[in-house]
Amino acid sequence: MEIRTERLHLREFARDDWRAVLDYQRDPLYLRYYPWTERTEEDARTFVNMFLGWQSEQPRRRFQLVIVRDSDDRLIGNCGIRRKRDNDWEADIGYELAPDCWGHGYATEAAAAIVDFGFGELGLKRISSWCIADNVASARVLERLGFQPEGCLRHNEYFKGHWWDTLLYGLLSDEWRPALENTQTEA
Ligand SMILES: CC(C)(COP(=O)(O)OP(=O)(O)OC[C@H]1O[C@@H](n2cnc3c(N)ncnc32)[C@H](O)[C@@H]1OP(=O)(O)O)[C@@H](O)C(=O)NCCC(=O)NCCS
């Protein structure tokens, strides 16, 4: 599966993508809001292999796609949409980008495409997401797409010596207004 947007294309993971993933996942800026303190080759291979496994699900419930920038054909991150087990109408989304590519609207562009795929091709009623409350950039991506805040789980994560709050967000199909034209999905 492949989705094209104005500046990006989202494609299925390939086995060798672990190198590009590791390049950015070992950056301390990337690691800030994750429990991980470092990432190794084995971690990156395991990460990619998990998404390769999702590609053969029948029927397919989870899609995690690499984000490639058209201008230089570079793998700059990934994003995904995952239907819940035993629930065909709800899924959650997630995304991550290489820190040197932050602040250009790429995450919003990629996430808009994956949300559009969820409400369109998958026929979802509801899409949810969550982020660590301090992760302002991640919350802003969701808010820009029209996700509504649905609550705050106080101190529900503990890592790196801190308690962290988690924000929950949700978007319903009849609230979705595709923000971006020129988004195309190819089977
Ligand atoms: C979250 C993340 C994907 C955002 O990527 P991005 O491409 O920089 O996002 P965008 O450029 O689309 O920006 C989205 C909004 O966040 C804002 N933003 C970006 N970085 C910010 C920061 N450090 N502080 C505050 N706001 C920030 C942008 O200004 C923009 O808001 P605006 O339109 O009101 O100006 C990126 O920071 C990332 O990969 N972080 C590490 C992984 C991660 O946390 N993933 C999410 C897990 S829940």
Q: What pLDDT score does 182 carry?
A: 47
In this predicted structure, the answer to whether residue 11 has a pLDDT above a threshold of 60 is yes
- Residues 78, 52: contact at Cβ < 8 Å? no
pLDDT mean over 152-166: 97
Report how many domains make up the chain. 1
The distance of Cα 79 from the centroid of its chain, to the nearest Å, equals: 3
- Residues 167, 155: contact at Cβ < 8 Å? no
Which 8-state DSSP code applies to residue 75? Answer: E
Q: What pLDDT score does 179 carry?
A: 54
CA-closest residue to ligand 1 atom 8: 102
In this predicted structure, the answer to whether residue 181 has a pLDDT above a threshold of 60 is no
In this predicted structure, the answer to whether residue 186 has a pLDDT above a threshold of 90 is no
Phi, psi of 54 (to 5 degrees): -60, -25
Range of the domain at 33: 2-186
In this predicted structure, the answer to whether residue 12 has a pLDDT above a threshold of 70 is yes
Q: What pLDDT score does 84 carry?
A: 87
pLDDT mean over 166-172: 98
Q: What is the pLDDT of residues 42-62, one digit of tens each?
A: 999 999 999 999 999 999 999
Query: Of ligand 1's atoms, which has the minimum distance to the CA of residue 101?
Result: 7
Domain harbouring 99, CATH code: 3.40.630.30
In this predicted structure, the answer to whether residue 183 has a pLDDT above a threshold of 60 is no
In whole angstroms, give the CA distance from residue 134 to residue 132: 6
Q: What pLDDT score does 177 carry?
A: 80
Q: With DSSP H G I counted as helix, E B as strand and the rest as coil, what are the percentages for the chain, rounded to 5?
A: 30, 35, 35
Q: What is the pLDDT of residues 82-136, one digit of tens each?
A: 998 889 999 999 999 999 999 999 999 999 999 999 999 999 999 999 999 999 9
Closest CA to 7 of 74, 61, 89: 74
125 C-beta closer than 6 A to ligand 1: no
Strand partners, 180: none
Query: Of ligand 1's atoms, which has the minimum distance to the CA of residue 29?
Result: 41
108 C-beta closer than 6 A to ligand 1: yes
Average pLDDT of the chain to the nearest whole number = 95
Pocket test for ligand 1, best of 102, 130, 142, 166 (most atoms within 8 A of CB): 102
